[in-house]
Structure 1
Amino acid sequence: MTCAGGLGTLGSMAWTTPRLDPERSRRRLQLLADLAGARAVRQRERPQRLRTARLRQLIATRRRLAG
């Protein structure tokens, strides 16, 4: 049921991060900053979209009731 031979290999399975060259690291940080900025813009615009959707739904409901 147990495998004594496999116990010695667990230490070599630790995660190691490769050293990135400075240019790649800079591009990666720029990409992450751009993604964070885009996410912030979407979150700021979301309430406006919700208000617009609610207003359209209200207008459609009123048209159905009036017609």
Structure 2
Amino acid sequence: MPEHEPEHEEETATDAQRRRRRAQFLRELNEAKALRDRVQPRRARAARMRQQMRMRTFRW
């Protein structure tokens, strides 16, 4: 039986650590999206248009 089980490690991680990791991930994700938008402006524009259409047709 291993000493470090994944479930036990998750329990020991505090909320602050989880939030810090999540914030770091979101920062990197936004950087990657910005880079992709600069490299492929036409594809980025098309993606924005699709997102706008999705939001227009969304019903509450």
User: Deviation at 1:39?
Assistant: 0.2
The 2-side partners of 1:12 and 1:46 are apart by: 46
Gaps of 5+ in 1: 1-10, 49-67
The 1-side partners of 2:15 and 2:21 are apart by: 10
Aligned to 2:13, which of 15, 20, 38? Answer: 20
Aligned pair in 2 of structure 1 residues 24, 42: CA closer, same or farther (>3 Å)? same
Q: Which runs of 4+ in 1 moved over 3 A?
A: 11-15
Normalised by the length of structure 1, the TM-score is: 0.46
Aligned to 2:39, which of 30, 35, 46? Answer: 46
Q: What SS is found at the alignment partner of 2:40?
A: helix
Q: What SS is found at the alignment partner of 2:6?
A: coil
Q: What SS is found at the alignment partner of 2:13?
A: coil
Gaps of 5+ in 2: 42-60
Aligned pair in 2 of structure 1 residues 27, 14: CA closer, same or farther (>3 Å)? closer
Between the aligned residues of both structures, percent identity stands at 8
Aligned residue pairs total: 38
RMSD of aligned alpha carbons: 2.2
